[in-house]
Amino acid sequence: SGGGLLTIHRDGSYARPAFSDADGGEISRKKVVVLGTGWAATSFLKNLNNPSYDVQVISPRNYFAFTPLLPSVTNGTVEARSIVEPIRNILKKKKFDAEFREAECYRIDRENKKVYCRSSQDANLGGQEEFTVDYDYLVVAMGARANTFNTPGVVEYTHFLKEVEDAQRIRKSIIDCFERANLPSVSPDEKKRILHFVVVGGGPTGVEFAADLHDFVTQDLASLYPNLKPLVSITLLEAGDHILNMFDKRITLFAEDKFKRDGINLKIGSMVTKVDEKEILTKERATGEVVSIPYGMAVWSTGIGTRPVVLDFMKQIGQTNRRVLATDEWLRVEGCNDIYALGDCATINQRKVMEDVSAIFRKADRNSSGRLKLEEFDSVIHDICERYPQVEIYMKKKQVKNFLNLIRDSGGDDDDEELDIEKFKSALSDVDAQMKNLPATAQVAAQQGAYLADCFNRMDQCEKKPEGPLRFRAEGRHRFRPFRYRHLGQFAPLGGEQTAAELPGDWISIGHSTQWLWYSVYASKQVSWRTRMLVIADWGRHFVFGRDSSRI
């Protein structure tokens, strides 16, 4: 099925035939529109292989960027071209119709199932073009923008580190600072200001950039500008109590100690209140004192914010009180069956088990006796754990092997093999406290994209034979198993060819050997052999020849 001839028009264009079923009837292709070319969207496109879709990808950038290596681009360890893969290289390998439009989506019309777009090219090519695209399914994977917390002067005077263009601008700015400070007419005090680099934000990106900048200065620029080396200083500002606070405390303490040994100034508990052209104002949390910090270049890395088009869409669907788009466990936007959101622009709103506790009890109580026997509960425990993952997490935390022991721990009778609705509620009363939002990382976005592609690949199959957990408030089963994130670990490069890693099983690894693990993992995660070979070649060039300091 699906075979047929192309219809060739006189102008050279062609029309693909619709798919046909076993009886010869036509099956119309579903239109899938993907907004974005980041981790979530690219993972979705690479794993989608169902030929019954027409796919259109819309994004203002026509490439995928391996964002974890952006800090390495800022100091020249890796070239920008080495970490990007043209999105058309990915689409041309697909066996279904897939087109890319380099444009920016500025409005989503849920009622009419359209997205409104405008061209994003900067060149003078005859003005701005606007167009609309219809969809049957919409995948919103637009990522996020930098969060300035409405701090005055951040947009005007600081650099962000979200895009490849950001990394290139930072690299040029670093060289500019050194070249400016090297001019004979610049005073010593002005040289110290120009060569003071400030990083705002003690998360993984800010810490890695500060470490990479320190390596660039000490290993490469110090020999090129020997008279400027004593004047260079790097300051890392963090509003919280520690840097890398999402990591294990052992990694946090090691990173702080290493930065102090390397001469990187750590200012913990310093909240930026204003940024001017030549100084940053901070408020010390401990004393309330306002401090002025002169600087030459500042990088702002304090988290993510929602894009305007997503905020506008959230107003349409009544999610104005949320920070990002809320989806269910199947990545569908709440209240929109044909719109999916994944990556940094969305978060999964995991349903609370206590909201459905009565429905769960009724579903398990097959004889409607008002009391639940253990064997009756055993018939639905798998579906409960699959639908509400916080139950399984809670049982593991309590080191409880079965639900009967959980009931006994909650105050039930040790000899009672039955429970009523009140005991059932009591046993589950603390379960929902285990719920946590997933981090906004490339790892989460990539897994979400692969999961959603698998759902699209098996859409018709699972429509006929649902494989998901029981519907406790309705009949039957959910079509798919809900999305489950599997944490594979995280890295924190700390400079000097040392990296810290937090891996599954509470395994902590820090040092030079972990740096080589970081190299191997990041090389293996490249989306193509082209980028993999380019990145490895850049690392080899860096080891042999050092980093390039040319301002191009």
pLDDT given at position 400: 75
Q: What would you report as the CA-atom Rg of the chain, rounded to the nearest whole angstrom?
A: 27
pLDDT given at position 363: 83
Distance CA 105, CA 59 (A): 7
Q: Tell me: do 454 and 342 sit in the same domain.
A: yes
Q: Tell me: do 75 and 166 sit in the same domain.
A: no
pLDDT category of residue 8 using cuts at 50, 70 and 90 = very low
Q: Which domain holds residue 81?
A: 26-144+306-350+437-486
- Span of 22-36, 218-232, 342-356 with lowest mean pLDDT: 22-36
Mean pLDDT of the chain: 90
Provide the CB-side half-sphere exposure for 465 (13 A, CA).
Answer: 2
- Span of 42-56, 174-188, 297-311, 469-483 with lowest mean pLDDT: 469-483
- Cα-based distances in Å from 9 to 12, 74, 99: 5, 50, 20
| Residue 285: inside a domain | yes
pLDDT given at position 410: 62
- Given a cut of 90, whether residue 401 has pLDDT beyond it is no
Q: Tell me: do 448 and 469 sit in the same domain.
A: yes
- Cα-based distances in Å from 501 to 69, 404, 508: 16, 38, 6
Q: Tell me: do 216 and 330 sit in the same domain.
A: no
pLDDT given at position 2: 40
| Residue 396: inside a domain | yes
| Residue 85: inside a domain | yes
Cβ-proximal residues to 215 (8 Å cutoff; 6+ apart), any chain: 75, 495, 496
| Residue 16: inside a domain | no
Residue type at position 517: L
Q: Tell me: do 205 and 270 sit in the same domain.
A: yes
- Given a cut of 60, whether residue 20 has pLDDT beyond it is no
pLDDT given at position 15: 44
| Residue 195: inside a domain | yes
pLDDT given at position 417: 64
How large is the average pLDDT for residues 519-526?
97
| Residue 369: inside a domain | yes
- Cα-based distances in Å from 374 to 158, 469, 517: 61, 20, 47
pLDDT given at position 6: 42
Q: Tell me: do 135 and 92 sit in the same domain.
A: yes
How large is the average pLDDT for residues 312-338?
94
Q: Which residue has the tokens 């970490």?
A: 83
Distance CA 455, CA 48 (A): 9
Q: Tell me: do 339 and 391 sit in the same domain.
A: no
Distance CA 3, CA 449 (A): 29
- Number of structural domains found in the chain: 3
pTM here? 0.90
Residue type at position 295: Y
Q: Tell me: do 415 and 468 sit in the same domain.
A: no
| Residue 52: inside a domain | yes
Pairing of the two strands 30-35 and 53-59: parallel
Q: Tell me: do 456 and 502 sit in the same domain.
A: no
How large is the average pLDDT for residues 111-117?
97
| Residue 12: inside a domain | no
Q: Tell me: do 376 and 507 sit in the same domain.
A: no
Distance CA 184, CA 202 (A): 35
How large is the average pLDDT for residues 52-75?
97
How confident is the model over 244-262, as pLDDT tens digits? 999 999 999 999 999 999 9
Q: Tell me: do 56 and 191 sit in the same domain.
A: no
